Amino acid sequence: MAERSDVWFRRFRRVARPRLRLVCLPHAGGSASTFRTWPRWLPEDVELLAVSLPGRQDRLGEDCVRDMGPLADAVTGALLPFLGEPLALFGHSMGASVAFEVAHRLETRQGVTPAALIVSGQQPPAHYRVNEAHLGGDSGLLAEVRRLGGEGAAFLNSPEMRELLMPAIRGDFALMGAYRPDPSLRIAAPVDAWVGNADCDVTVEETRAWAETTTGPFAYRVFDGDHFYLAAESAEFTAGLVERLTATAGTAVR
């Protein structure tokens, strides 16, 4: 079923004839605005589609999706109008798991192999550890968000911001707490797995194990930083992403 792409994606810089579209999925509690500055340093012919999830920002009045299947189905459906040009998928933490599920649906249901899947800061399906922070109520969730760090953790010190952000945090942690990935799933798309060398949640060994998810090329990379190593948009990270996207030109198949 097709979903409305104008609801599910934010395009911070429209590209008339993109060589490639980069679909970006945020971490738990994150939003499309996580990627608002990325078009400044992406190649001019790469258009960024930032996934806008229910329960936050301009979709604040909608209920969060608390089941991976319907969420991945909806994002896949919203991508249908964009399947004429090559797509690359990028997801961080929760977003990496969603991106993998979307890539699998694109291949098995639409016959479209993404030009690249870049997963960041997440365990692969066969090594996925269920996080039960949501079972501890808001206090447990707040403690977990602060443990992981990132720009969102500081916002939670404000009661007003907590009121705005907590619905998305509750929903996303409940989704990931219920997620049971199928370790047998394989995709043909090239997979790149990235992690920070001080990540408190994902090890380098687990990152390398993403190789088990693809029958295509695989590479992994370790960056300086913690779970949110990419938030600072360091020269190392931005150069690495641009390099990877440049290498995907024309590699998508249908």
* Domain total of the chain: 1
pLDDT tens digits for range 187-244: 999 999 999 999 999 999 999 999 999 999 999 999 999 999 998 888 999 999 999 9
Question: Is the per-residue pLDDT at 20 higher than 70?
Answer: yes
Pick from 49, 50, 14: nearest CA to 33: 50
pLDDT at position 144 is: 84
pLDDT at position 254 is: 36
Residue 253 lies in a domain: no
Residue 206 lies in a domain: yes
Question: Is the per-residue pLDDT at 140 higher than 90?
Answer: no
Name which of 139-143, 166-170, 180-184 the model is least confident about.
139-143
- CATH number of the domain enclosing 118: 3.40.50.1820
pLDDT at position 150 is: 66
The residue range of the domain holding 67 is: 5-128+182-247
Residue 84 lies in a domain: yes
Residue 5 pLDDT class (50, 70, 90 cuts) = confident
Question: Is the per-residue pLDDT at 152 higher than 70?
Answer: no
Q: Cα(5)–Cα(49) distance, rounded to whole angstroms?
A: 10
Question: Is the per-residue pLDDT at 250 higher than 80?
Answer: no
Residue 171 lies in a domain: no
Residue 144 lies in a domain: no
The pTM is what? 0.93
Question: Is the per-residue pLDDT at 148 higher than 90?
Answer: no
Residue 1 pLDDT class (50, 70, 90 cuts) = very low
> Rounded to 5 degrees, what angle do the CA atoms 93, 156, 39 make?
50
Residue 105 pLDDT class (50, 70, 90 cuts) = very high
pLDDT tens digits for range 76-92: 999 999 999 999 999 99
- pLDDT, the chain, mean: 91
Q: Cα(133)–Cα(144) distance, rounded to whole angstroms?
A: 7
| Gap between the terminal Cα atoms of the chain | 19
Residue 111 lies in a domain: yes
Residue 66 lies in a domain: yes
Q: Cα(148)–Cα(227) distance, rounded to whole angstroms?
A: 6
Residue 156 lies in a domain: no
Residues taking part in catalysis: 93, 227
